[in-house]
Structure 1
Amino acid sequence: MNTMPVDAPNTVALLRELVASALGNEVRLILSGASSHNDLDDESSECYPAGYADYDGKGFHFMTYVQAHLESTATGRSPAYPEEFERWLADGAPGINLAQVLALKARSPSAL
């Protein structure tokens, strides 16, 4: 059964654009709850797949790796954890919703 939100393909496409435009840190802030776009949050977007909780067997949540990837791309370093980032996108980018991504894009149109 596919539980990906209906708007996930649009969200994923926009996330790819934002990250490619050096806005990965802004996406990371949304995921960590530290963004002005978090007031647009839909509680259902916070449901992560079961395998995310103890992803590495050392107690680290999968999103730790996704956030490290976003931070590295925003600072111009070689992208960290690209496989985890791609898996997150393939899973429909849980933890962020289309309204948040659209608000970030609207605030940063010159970057796209």
Structure 2
Amino acid sequence: MFSKASQRVDANMAEILANREAIKIFLALRWVRSHTLMVESNSSNVVSWIRNPKRAQWKHKRDLMILEGIKRRIGECSVRKINREANDIVDELAKSGMREEELLFICD
């Protein structure tokens, strides 16, 4: 699980930026080549766009292409849609207004 404060953006962009940051963190880990990264999102749009950036809205394409470039540098990455209820902890952190300098990263 990953949570970080971000600038004020729409929900899709916030999800894209969170996924990009999580993938960058995974890229820096020593087991990046020996483990599969599983990205979970409660946004059907973002899951679809991460899988196929060409489907994204024009305003998100640049960020998704950056994410795609980062994704290519890791071994294997799977992206799946989860229900909003499964994302309760991260949503609560977002609603509580984590300060920008705070970062939460839980690896299970």
- Same-fold call, TM cutoff 0.5: no
Q: Which of 1 and 2 has higher RCO (CA within 8 Å, sep 6+)? A: 2
Compute the TM-score of the two structures, normalised by the length of structure 2: 0.30
| Structure with greater helix share of residues | 1
